[in-house]
Amino acid sequence: MSVVADESGTARCAWSADDAEYRRYHDEEWGFPLHGDRPLFEKLSLEGFQAGLSWITILRRRPTFRRAFSDFEIDAVAALTTSDIERLMLDSGIIRNRAKIEATISNARITLELVRDDPGALDRILWSFAPDPRARPPQTGEVPAVTAESTAMSTALRRLGYRFVGPTTLYALMQSSGMVDDHVEGCWRASR
């Protein structure tokens, strides 16, 4: 089943049907074009934390992640120290994975170098991999997990030194930031 209708008859992508926060995210964020270095750095970071977990786990903890990582202000995250890592490892409101925490800080430092003298650089890099619009997937099973574009984005970011940026993670980033729109046929968002 690719779409599910709620009690009001609104049909949504089936993955969003079982949870009110998922429905809100589906209706208001997923697939909407997102721009800006800070918002995209946040998405990149959260998608990295999601690796190996369900997105709803991250979504429910997003307010705590934002508090823990200074609203993903790039310069603030880049300035985090070893003692901050230890503090974050004790924060049960986030995913306490040292490698992911360290990667987020390292990725912030790389991003800061990119955007310090060239605001918008992260935005331009990420969006340069956005594919041309394509036909809407008729079913959930036809939504890819990896594409040539997400693989190319992964390769480019890894060359810059980014971590937790595999092709699957970056395809999820492309979906969540509207670089691709994978709302399936029959979803109310597909008709917008």
- Indicate the Cα dihedral angle 81, 87, 90, 94, nearest 10°: -70
Consult the annotation and say whether 35 binds a ligand: no
> Contact at 8 Å (CB) between 170 and 47?
yes
Report residue 77 as tokens: 């995250």
Contacts of 132 (CB under 8 A, 6+ apart): none
Q: Name the active-site residue from 47, 149, 162, 171.
A: 47
What whole-number distance in Å separates Cα of residue 45 and Cα of residue 145?
18
The verdict on whether 55 is a catalytic residue reads yes
Answer yes or no: 25 catalytic. yes
Residue 11: beta bridge partners? 5
Q: Say if residues 141 and 15 touch (Cβ distance below 8 Å).
A: no
Catalytic residue of the set 55, 73, 113, 188:
55
- Judge whether 142 is annotated as a binding position: no
Tell me if residue 42 is catalytic.
no
The annotation status of 187 as a binding-site residue, yes or no, is yes
| 156-179 as b/e: b if 16+ CB within 10 A | bbeeeebbbbbbbbbbbbbbbbbb
Q: What is the DSSP secondary-structure string of 37-48? A: HHHHHHHHHHHH
Could you list the active site residues?
A: 25, 47, 55
Q: Where is the binding site, in residues?
A: 13, 26, 183, 187
* Known binding positions for Zn(2+): 13, 26, 183, 187
